[in-house]
Structure 1
Amino acid sequence: MAEGLRELKKRRTRAHIAETATALFVARGFEQVTMAEIAAAAEVSVNTLYNYFAAKEDLVLPPDEASADRLAGIVRERAPGEPAAAAVLRRLREELRRRERALGLTEDFGRFLEMVRAAPTLTARLEDLARQMDDALAALLREETGAADDDPLPALVASQIGWLHARVLSEIGARTQAGQAPNSIAETVLALLDVIEDLLGERVLTYAPKELE
């Protein structure tokens, strides 16, 4: 029980620090806020802050949430018989219907997005994260299908899946900055996914079905 209480306190402290930092970043800009200022505002020591977040960018894009394994993880966990692209399309539709905060489907996401796009270190991290997601997915597809090292198909399929994921996020971002409400955005992007699915074609949509158990 005591260990559980300690873990709960750590989660609450981490969340409090991240929320405090986000508020400062949105109000003043990511580059203008120091780690010392965040620690003072959150009423923790600088050492404690670094124990929870190794870098300032981690406060905005936590490695456990903004993970390079996101797409590979979705594909890895798919149901037997389900192809890779179908698994990602299904998950995105589920997240859109649930209005997932991780997709930016919140009323306050617009200001947060403006802050992120104004910070070169954050935009660079997002670009690198997208590349890492594609690479991780390509490696998984190559392993699962037994493709040869010189077979370009796993990487090409992974890049198509990465593109559809990025297209969804960019559409949400653009519509958020245009002032549209989260519910309206979600419904529009759900319709967009239908168009994307048709565009991908059978070769991508049927690639790498998970082996039946």
Structure 2
Amino acid sequence: MESSRLRGVPDGSTLRERKKAQTRSALWSAAIELFLAHGFDNVSVAQVAAAAGVSKMTFFNYYPTKEDLVVGPMSEHIDEPARVVRGRGDGEPAVDALHRHFLEGLARHEPTTGLCDKPNVLAVLRLIFTTPSLTQRTMAILSESSDVLAAELGPDFSHRVAASMITGVRNALILENTKRMLAGESADAVYPSAVADANEAFSLLRSGL
């Protein structure tokens, strides 16, 4: 997952930006390999830095904690629902835009929908959901996504309620898909029921539950 972020560095980026992306990618790759082999709590920041060929201080220049490193790719999507709402077409309801976007993600088997059975993605997910501190950080990211969406929808209490409902539905769908992937089902096999679940869930949103 992190390597895709490195590939996404624009061609016109500066040498400094490319170097930073390479260091970040090296840290992430080294850390995940160590965490999967020895357990998250059994690997120190110093060990991760050494495996990546950088200093411990360099690690902290990029990631405040080990938890931040693991959930880094996920945290980049905190504002995704808000961005979808902001970029929707004229007259398109926010729920419709988010429904459409989620279905598009399912069709591409994007990790952000939970419907991804790539071995490297599943390995990181198993790490997250078997490590309490990482599970806690993941839940905090999902909660923060709701706050950002609420700010995009508007300033009123009703907007915060709407954001909570929308985010709750998305999270339930993501976690259900993730659970099925971790249980060994394939993304292709689960896709039809994942689409049906998404359609039902967003219909419930439109009807006010």
TM category, shorter: 0.7 to 0.9
Higher gyration radius (CA): 1
Percentage identity across aligned positions? 34
> For 1:33 and 1:25, how far apart are their aligned partners in 2?
6
After TM superposition, the structure 1 = structure 2 runs for residues 62-73 of structure 1, keeping only pairs within 5 Å, are 62=72, 65-73=75-83
Matched, 1:181 2:181: no
Q: What is the aligned length? A: 197
The match for 2:4 is none
Matched, 1:124 2:129: no
Aligned equivalent of 1:52, options 62, 75, 85: 62
The match for 1:139 is 151
Which residue identity lines up with residue 185 of structure 2 in the other structure? Q
* Distance of aligned partners of 1:37 and 1:69 in 2 relative to their CA distance in 1, 3 Å threshold: same
Which residue identity lines up with residue 134 of structure 2 in the other structure? L
Matched, 1:89 2:99: yes
> For 2:82 and 2:203, how far apart are their aligned partners in 1?
22
The match for 2:199 is 194
The match for 1:106 is 117
> For 1:185 and 1:9, how far apart are their aligned partners in 2?
39
Q: Are the counterparts in 1 of residues 88 and 94 from structure 2 also a CA contact under 8 Å?
A: yes
> For 1:84 and 1:15, how far apart are their aligned partners in 2?
35
Matched, 1:30 2:40: yes
Aligned equivalent of 2:22, options 12, 23, 45: 12
The match for 1:167 is 172
> For 1:63 and 1:170, how far apart are their aligned partners in 2?
17
Q: Are the counterparts in 1 of residues 146 and 163 from structure 2 also a CA contact under 8 Å?
A: yes
What is the SS of the residue equivalent to 1:78? coil
* Distance of aligned partners of 1:28 and 1:66 in 2 relative to their CA distance in 1, 3 Å threshold: farther
* Distance of aligned partners of 1:26 and 1:66 in 2 relative to their CA distance in 1, 3 Å threshold: farther
Q: Are the counterparts in 2 of residues 107 and 181 from structure 1 also a CA contact under 8 Å?
A: no
CA displacement at 1:96 relative to structure 2: 1.4
> For 2:105 and 2:197, how far apart are their aligned partners in 1?
14
What is the SS of the residue equivalent to 1:62? helix
Deviates more, 1:34-43 or 1:65-74: 65-74
CA displacement at 1:66 relative to structure 2: 4.2
Matched, 1:76 2:86: yes
Which residue identity lines up with residue 145 of structure 2 in the other structure? M
> For 2:54 and 2:16, how far apart are their aligned partners in 1?
16
What is the SS of the residue equivalent to 1:61? helix
* TM-score of the aligned structures, taking structure 1 as reference length: 0.81
CA displacement at 1:139 relative to structure 2: 2.7
* TM-score of the aligned structures, taking structure 2 as reference length: 0.82
Q: Which runs of 5+ in 2 are unaligned?
A: 1-10
Which residue identity lines up with residue 18 of structure 1 in the other structure? W
What is the SS of the residue equivalent to 2:88? coil
CA displacement at 1:86 relative to structure 2: 1.4
CA displacement at 1:64 relative to structure 2: 7.5
Which residue identity lines up with residue 158 of structure 2 in the other structure? L
Which residue identity lines up with residue 159 of structure 2 in the other structure? P
Which residue identity lines up with residue 134 of structure 1 in the other structure? S
Q: Are the counterparts in 2 of residues 99 and 182 from structure 1 also a CA contact under 8 Å?
A: yes
Q: Are the counterparts in 2 of residues 22 and 59 from structure 1 also a CA contact under 8 Å?
A: no
